[in-house]
Amino acid sequence: MNNKIKNLAAIIITCCMLGTQANNLAVESTESIIKNPIEHAVQLMHQANQANEDSRQLILDANTVRKQLKEQRTALIRAKNNPQINSKESQEKIAQLVEKLESNQTQGANLRQQSKLLKQQAAEHFEKGFVQKWKQWVSNTEPLTMDDTVKNIFAHNAQLRSVHKNMLEKANTPEETISQKRDDMSLQVPALVEQNAPPDLNINAFKFSRQEQYFAHIEVHTDETTQSSQSKNVAAVPLNKIHQWRLMISDINGEPLENVKIQVEGHMPGHVHGLPTAPEVTQEIAPGVYLVDGVKFQMKGWWVMKFILPSDLKNKANSVDLNPDFFTFNLVL
Amino acid sequence: MEKTSKVNKGCNPRSITIGLLFVLLAACTEQNTETPSDNQELAKKTKTEKKITSDTKELYQFTDIDIQFLEPFLISNLGEPPKSVSNQYSENIDAAKLGKKLFFDASLSNNKQVSCATCHQPKRYFTDGLAFSKATGVTKRSSPSVLGAAYSPWQFWDGRKDSLWSQALGPIEDHNEYNTSRLTYVRNFLEKYPNEYQNVFGDIKLDQIAQLPKSASPKGNSQEIKNWENMSKTQQDLINQVFSHIGKAIMAYQRQLTIPPSRFDHFLEALVEKREAELPKLLSPQEVKGLRLFVGKANCASCHNGPLFTNYEFHNIGAPDPIDKPVELGRYQGVKDLVEDEFTCLSKWSDASEQDCAEMRFLKTSGPELVGALKTPTLRNIAETAPYMQMGQFENLQQVITHYNFPAPPVYNREQHPNRPHFDILPLKLTTQEVVELESFLHTLTSPLPKDDPWWGLEKDID
């Protein structure tokens, strides 16, 4: 255990507890002393989880306080109607409770924010360690895009799946989705789907699994036979062409996750349709490096790819968890 | 005012001249020296004309980004059909020539009257003008054009075939179409075209075929099936080998079919080459308005895009199911048929390695969006290929656009649908005027019939 880091984290957490606007810069400045980014990431993750747990506790407490406050207020009303009772005590109590409630809420929110930042940093450090460790297989660390040479800027705007006649009236018409008139176009082309992706969407090609027990990276796989036809841009996926990805998975210690069966899913949010093909993991080309074949995107826009791990993988408590862990990657192509 | 309505009448030579006139007018209204009978009248008239002129001008003004957006629709951008991995003869001209003969040869059908061209007539842009095609019987759907089919990864409305060669084998055995058995067709074919066959595909084992029964097929009537099952595996393979070669020749033929540029392409070319002055001669203001709607408010281009005006994807646009027919299961049934098909890319008769059959290996076999979804058809020559949709549900383009304008979602039939059908379109709320404009644009996609292109086989139609 690195004591310095532990102390630093303690400071951060106290800062939050005090309700000051704690800044995360403190953690970033320790970068120079990090020898093992993966280990460091794991520690950050622990701290993040602790902060999250603390935040949750504060919110729970706040709920209790809220209940007490309600009781006091009712008591106060009763007191006002009865001159025999001294309402002063009650008023003081109320003031105290309000203060506690506010402080709990601020602290809780700060801690939650802190936990989020720590998780982000954990992911960044893990990525660094991962790239070092898996040098041979990582050739692209950028988010995946679609090749710039792809001229096709169309995408169909299918936003409905099953509708009742009455609902149709409530759906907006394509005209309403027409993008704000662009200065450089006289054609009023309907809004392109990529605009549906929220601006702060995480499109990183490195991700922790949902249960934060594994870490994965995706990239387009090109071998000699396909290289010539593929784009030179290693981050680019082709349009409307079946191609392959590499999915690299490590456990929380940075060791490859070997020999597991992985299920592949994908869809376009806001489009209610899945992938045009059914991609599969066809091979484990090296320990923890899985070949995903049959990937195809028939349009630009926001896609979500999901890789589901077997449900019988051991979780942190070393017990069998029936909710399988999984990775989701957002792509804005 | 009067001029506006004339201009909007559509694209006849008159409106083109009027369009031109405006361009000239813009330049010379000032010098108009005609003696006015009524000065005020003239002033009013000139004002209106000026307004129309500038409106029209704006209509024909496209920015560089507009042009970049439209350019992918040019037919000249189509290029060669994608390489066929499963048919090594796909670019073989002798195979294509043989394929052309077969496409038009009715003598090999059961009643000696049916060929591919019965339902895919060149002069009708390879369609037949019917809601349900007719040969020895009536087919379940309407015949689509084969123009551009070589560019699609899937054939038929529901995509139940993964290549043109495999597709071509369907009609031959279909009792509503050629109504022949596999063995009968193969034998008659080899007797009629022995040299052509040998030239492309090599040896024929005619003597071995001679010993076989008169008819046999794994898909025919009970007698034919029985005969087929009584044949040895080697005999069956022999027939299947020739049968698949026949498909490959017909495919090679259809890959040679090209689409000449339409008025729309000439317009777009002029735009790309910045020959602005010519634009009003090529498309009328009404048609240009229609074009702007097509890629804009009407949202058609989101599915009907590229040089063939199709994305070759499967969608459910809710064309109403005829009440006397089973519901349209579309792609849902199509993938089921593909998995069972004897002649896919993955089959023994394909020239591809399994590795190369990516579309079949990663075929999507489930998903709610497959139910009732059909392949987006090309809109090239659409004005000439009525009736419309997979069962000719709409007689004319106005009905089609009216459907897109106020669509009724597909009816959910709990007994026949595996889940509530997907629905991929939204009401457009176009005005009556806009519907007319959109329709007039669709008419600009008609190519002239290429009488001198031997692949089209229009020779017989020129009298």
Q: How far is CA B194 from CA B122, B197, B198, in A?
A: 27, 5, 6
> Is B66 within 8 Å of A164 when comparing Cβ atoms?
no
Of A133, A158, A179, the one marking the end of a domain is A133
CA nearest to B312 within chain A: A298
Question: Rounded to whole angstroms, how far apart are CA atoms B231 and B211?
Answer: 11
The verdict on residue A318 lying in a domain is: yes
B54 C-beta neighbours (distance < 10 Å), count: 12
Tokens 């090999």 correspond to B108
Q: Where in chain B is the domain with CATH 1.10.760.10?
A: 55-80+260-460, 93-254
Which own/partner pairs from A138-141 qualify as long-range (CB within 8 Å, at least 24 positions apart)? A138/A217, A138/A219, A138/A248, A139/A219, A139/A234, A140/A205, A140/A219, A140/A220, A140/A234, A140/A235, A141/A205, A141/A206
Q: Which residue from A minimizes the CA distance to B427?
A: A173
Residue to substitute from B62, B64, B65, interface A, most A β-carbons within 10 A: B65
Residues A232 and A324 both lie in one domain: yes
CATH label of the domain that carries residue A204 = 2.60.40.1930
C-alpha to C-alpha distances, A156 to A160, A199, B368, nearest whole angstrom: 11, 21, 17
Does a structural domain hold residue A84?
yes
Single-letter residue type at A320: V
The chain B residue lying nearest A163, using CA atoms, is: B409
Amino acid at B240: N
Written as six digits, the tokens of A328 are 């989701």
If one counts every other C-beta atom within 10 angstroms of the C-beta of residue B132, the result is 18
CA angle centred on B271, ends B267 and B272, rounded to 5°: 120
For residue A236, list its beta bridge partners.
A145
Contact (Cβ atoms closer than 8 angstroms) between residue B150 and residue B255: yes
Query: B412 to chain A: which residues are within 8 Å by CB?
Result: 162
From CA B168, how far away is CA B185, in angstroms rounded?
13
Each residue's pLDDT tens digit, B274-305: 999 999 999 999 999 999 999 988 989 888 98
pLDDT digits (tens, 9 = 90+) for B394-442: 999 999 999 999 998 888 999 999 988 888 888 899 999 999 999 999 9
How many residues can be counted in chain A?
A: 333
Residue B218 has pLDDT above 90, yes or no: yes
Query: For B250-265, what is the mean pLDDT?
Result: 98
H or E element, residue A291:
strand A289-295
pLDDT at position A198 is 81
pTM: 0.82
* Class of the domain covering B93-254: mainly alpha
Substitution target in A167, A168, A188 with the highest count of B β-carbons within 10 Å is A168
Q: Is residue A298 part of a domain?
A: yes
A79 class by beta-carbon count within 10 Å (0-12 exposed, 13-18 middle, 19+ buried):
middle
Q: Is the backbone of residue A240 left (phi > 0), alpha (psi -120 to 50) or beta?
A: left
List residues of chain A with CB under 8 Å from any CB of chain B.
151-165, 168, 171-175, 178, 182, 184-190, 242, 272-280, 293-294, 296, 298-299
Interface touch B423/A162, C-beta < 8 Å: yes
Q: What are the beta bridge partners of residue A178? A: A190
A190 SS3 class: strand
> Percent of chain B at pLDDT above 90?
74
A114 phi/psi in degrees, rounded to 5: -60, -40
Residue B90 backbone phi and psi in degrees, to 5 = -60, -25
Structural domain contains residue A142 = no
**Domain with A220 in it:** 195-332
The H helix count followed by the E strand count for chain A is 6, 11
CA distance A294 to chain B (A): 5
User: Are residues A126 and A249 both part of a single domain?
Assistant: no
CATH entry 2.90.10.10 includes domain B55-80+260-460: no
Question: pLDDT at residue A119 above 70?
Answer: yes
| Choice between A222 and B28, residue whose per-residue pLDDT is larger | A222
Rounded to 5°, angle at Cα B37 from B33 and B42: 65
- Does A324 map to a domain? yes
| Amino acid type, B343 | F
A242·B297 Cβ contact <8 A? no
Q: Percent of chain A having pLDDT more than 70?
A: 70
Q: Is residue A286 part of a domain?
A: yes
Assign residue A41 a region: left if phi > 0, alpha if psi is -120 to 50, beta otherwise?
A: alpha
Decide if pLDDT at B38 tops 70: no
Residue bearing tokens 């496409």: B103
- Residue where one domain finishes, among candidates A110, A133, A156: A133
B17 touches chain A (CB under 8 A): no
What DSSP state is assigned to residue A30?
G
Which residues in B60-99 are b (16+ Cβ under 10 Å) and which e?
A: bebeebbbebbbbbbbeeeeebeebbbbebbebeebbbbb
| Nearest-angstrom CA–CA distance, A6 and A43 | 9
What is the per-residue pLDDT across A85-107, written as a single tens digit (0 to 9) for each? 777 888 888 999 999 999 999 99
Q: When comparing pLDDT for A37 and B41, which is higher?
A: A37
Q: Which of A133, A163, A184 corresponds to the end of one domain? A: A133
pLDDT tens-digit series, residues B361-383: 999 998 888 999 999 999 999 99
Q: Is A273 helix (H, G, I), strand (E, B) or coil?
A: strand
The ipTM estimated for the assembled molecules is 0.76
* Main-chain dihedrals φ then ψ at residue B95, nearest 5 degrees: -65, -40
Nearest Cα residue to A205 out of A107, A137, A150, A153: A137
DSSP A296: -
Query: Are residues A125 and A215 part of one domain?
Result: no
What token pair was written down for A129? 């360690």
Q: Is B422–A161 a contact, with Cβ atoms under 8 angstroms apart?
A: yes
Q: Which member of A186, A242, A279 has the closest CB to residue B62?
A: A186
- Among the residue ranges A129-143, A319-333, B329-343, the one predicted with the least confidence is A319-333
Same domain, residue pair A205 and A307:
yes
Higher pLDDT residue, A167 or A136? Answer: A136
Angle between helices B285-295 and B39-59 (to 10 degrees): 40
Residue that has been written with the tokens 């108009």 in this structure: B32
When divided into structural domains, chain A yields a total of 2
* Residues with Cβ within 8 Å of residue B210, at least 6 apart in sequence: none
pLDDT in tens, A169-206: 544 444 455 555 667 788 877 655 445 678 788 999 99
A154 → closest Cβ in B302, B363, B424: B302
Best residue in A175, A240, A277, A293 for a mutation probing chain B (most B CBs within 10 Å): A175
Q: Is the Cβ pair A242, B68 closer than 8 Å?
A: no
Quick check: is A243 in a domain?
yes
pLDDT at position A35: 83
